[in-house]
Amino acid sequence: MAIRINLYHEIQRARIVEQYDPLKISLMCLGFIGVCLVGWYFMSLNETNKIRDEHSTQQVELGRLKPLAIAAKDNEQKFNNVLTLASSLSKRIDERFYWAPVLDKISAVIPPAVQITKMTGESNFGEIPRRVNVNIEGVAAGNQPRKVAEDLRLKLNETLGRNFKELSAVFKSLDDSIERVVIDGKEASTVLFSISISFTIETIPTAPAPAPVAPAPSAPDITAQR
C-alpha cells in the first residue's frame, strides 16, 4: 500500500471552499436572477412597445373610421326610418280590408225593386278583431215597400251572416216616401230606408283571388215619378 501524502491538501480544500462559497453562489444566483429580470424587463418593454405601436395604429385607424362611422350611423337612422315607413306601409297594405267581396255579396242580394242611393263603409284599422260598419241608404218600391225593405235587410243578414261573425243589420230609419215610382208599368209606393250593417272579422283577410266577372243583373227600370 503506497504512502499517501499530499501537501497540497490545504490549497485544494481552500479552492473547494472558494468554489462552493455560499456568498459567491448566492451572488451568482442573484446575478442570474438579475439577468433574467433584465431579460424579462426587455421582453416586457418589447411587448409594451408592440402594443403601443398597435394602439397608435388603431388610433389612426379609428380617426379615419370615426367620421365614416358617424356618417354610417346617420345613414342607418335614415335607412331605419325608410325601413320603418316601408314596413308600416307594407303592414298597412297587408292588413287592408278588401271591400270587394262585401260589395259583391251586398249587390247580389239587392232586389230589382230597391235602389241604393248611398252607401258608406268604414273599418277600424290595426285592431283585431276588426269591426266593419256599412251604412246603406236607398229607396224600396212595391205594393208593400216596407216588406221589400225588410226582405232586403233579412237577406243581407242571412247572406253576410254566412261569411262574417257578429253580424247585425238593423234599420236606422224606414220612412214612407211621397214619391211614387212605376215598376214594370205599374205604379208603386216607396219607402226610404237606411240599414246599418256591422260585423267583425278575426283574421286579416288575404287578397282574394280575382273572381270571374259575373254578368251584372239587369237593372230594373225604375223611373221616378213625381
Partner 1 sequence: MGKKFTSVMGLDIGRYSLKSVVIQKKGGNRFVVTHFASHVMDETVEPTPSEIGKGIKSMLKQMGGNAKACAVAVSHPEALLRLIEQPSTPTEVLRDALKLNGMMLLNQDTKNFILDCDLIPTSASSGKIEDGQKTYLVAGLPRVQVNNIGLAIHEGGAPPVATLQLAPVAMFNAFEFAQPEAFNTSSFFLLDIGHQASTMMLGSMKELVLIRNIDFGGKALIENLQTLSGEHRQTVLNALEDDDELMIENARMAMTTITREIMNSIGFFEGRREDTIRQIWVSGGVAKCKALLRVLGEELRMPCVAWSAAERCEINVPAARKTRFAEDSLDLSVACGAATQALSE
Q: Which residues contact 141 (CB under 8 A, 6 or more apart)?
A: 113, 114, 115, 148, 181, 183, 188, 189, 190, 222
Under the binding rule (CB under 8 A), the answer on residue 93 touching partner 1 is no
What is residue 123's three-state secondary structure?
strand
In this structure, which amino acid lies at residue 170?
V
Give the range of 6-14, 74-82, 134-142, 172-180 binding partner 1 by CB under 8 A: 6-14
Q: Output the nine-digit C-alpha cell for 194.
A: 237606411
User: For partner 1, which is the closer residue by CB, 5 or 68?
Assistant: 5
Under the binding rule (CB under 8 A), the answer on residue 19 touching partner 1 is no
Under the binding rule (CB under 8 A), the answer on residue 1 touching partner 1 is yes
In degrees, to the nearest 5, what angle opens at C-alpha 161 toward C-alphas 158 and 167? 120
Query: Cβ of residue 1: shortest distance to partner 1, in angstroms?
Result: 6
Under the binding rule (CB under 8 A), the answer on residue 211 touching partner 1 is no
User: For partner 1, which is the closer residue by CB, 12 or 87?
Assistant: 12
CA distances to 120, 142, 150, 153 from 111, in Å? 19, 11, 12, 11
Q: Are 181 and 224 in contact (CB under 8 A)?
A: yes
HSE-up (13 A, CA, CB side) for residue 24? 7
Query: First vs last Cα of the chain: how many Å apart?
Result: 167
Number of residues that bind partner 1 (CB under 8 A): 12
Under the binding rule (CB under 8 A), the answer on residue 120 touching partner 1 is no
| Options 11, 214, 216, 219; binder of partner 1; rule CB under 8 A | 11
Give the range of 9-17, 38-46, 162-170, 196-204 binding partner 1 by CB under 8 A: 9-17
- Of the candidates 50, 97, 61, the one whose C-alpha atom is nearest the C-alpha of residue 203 is 97
Under the binding rule (CB under 8 A), the answer on residue 20 touching partner 1 is no
Give the range of 3-11, 82-90, 179-187, 214-222 binding partner 1 by CB under 8 A: 3-11
Query: Cβ of residue 47: shortest distance to partner 1, in angstroms?
Result: 47
Give the range of 2-10, 47-55, 93-101, 166-174 binding partner 1 by CB under 8 A: 2-10
**Footprint of partner 1 on this chain (CB under 8 A)?**
1-12
